Amino acid sequence: MSTDPTYTTYLAVLLLASLSVFTTLIGVALAIYTGKSERAVAAGIGFSAGIMLLVSFLELMPEALAEADRGLALTAFVLGMLIVAAMHWLIPHTHLVEEKGAFHQTSLRTAYLVAFGLILHDVPEGFAMANSYIASPRLGVLVALAIAIHNIPEEFAMAVPIVTVKKRRFLYTAAFLSGLAEPLGAIVGLVAVHFHPALNPLFMAFAAGAMVFVSVHELLPMAWRYHKTHLFFLGAVLSVFVYALLTAMIPE
């Protein structure tokens, strides 16, 4: 497939990106209506991190390495990790809601960091959707579905602590911004490749690096904080089966 996106490509990518908006809302709704469940959070984070790592290492990076110079692709991967890390570290640790009530301050801080992380890494996820679709429509559909599915437990994990402290306005604002970030990232990826087609595999590698950083730096520590590591690994194992099912369902 040509790396110069057409208007049909734009439309297809935006429709795929919109799936994540709906699954983001599903995750938030589950948190609101089911209440706090440490077991569900731990398993959900394991599933979410597992899907992100599988997509990054088995789909995005192999495609990027096949299409671009190996050194450039690996550099883009590392830059994805470093830039998202820098954005996390540069954001002031001023909490956006008051830390009042019985809920532990560490959990509140985690909620804010995960909320920021979701918004920050949703833009690279938009890159992953758009630029993988440009490389191969089959790959784009697979990546889009995997990301959309992983958003449900991820947004659930982000929302649970905020629902517990009764700060739903913050929750809805974070979820709204998170939902819009992926289509925005998709548009940025499409426009960049329209003017510089050679950037397509580098955007995929960059997105893979960003997704790996979020999984390791944000999601894994949050799961361990709940002291349910066996459920975390159960969720990760489930992600492997779901990923295998997606690859089997989407024809070459």
Q: 76: which 2 tokens?
A: 């883009």
Angle at 70 between CA 68 and CA 72, to 5 degrees: 70
- Position 168 scores a pLDDT of 66
Whether the model clears a pTM of 0.95, i.e. scores above it, the answer is: no
Query: What is the per-residue pLDDT across 15-35, written as a single tens digit (0 to 9) for each?
Result: 998 888 888 888 878 887 776
E-only strand ranges, the chain: none
Query: What is the per-residue pLDDT across 99-133, written as a single tens digit (0 to 9) for each?
Result: 444 445 555 555 555 556 556 668 888 999 999 99
The CA–CA distances, whole Å, from 112 to 135, 143, 172 equal 35, 27, 13
- Position 251 scores a pLDDT of 78
Burial zone of 158 (CB within 10 Å; 0-12 exposed, 13-18 middle, 19+ buried): buried
**Separation of alpha carbons 41 and 44, rounded Å:** 5
Tokens 């990546």 identify what position? 143
- Position 181 scores a pLDDT of 82
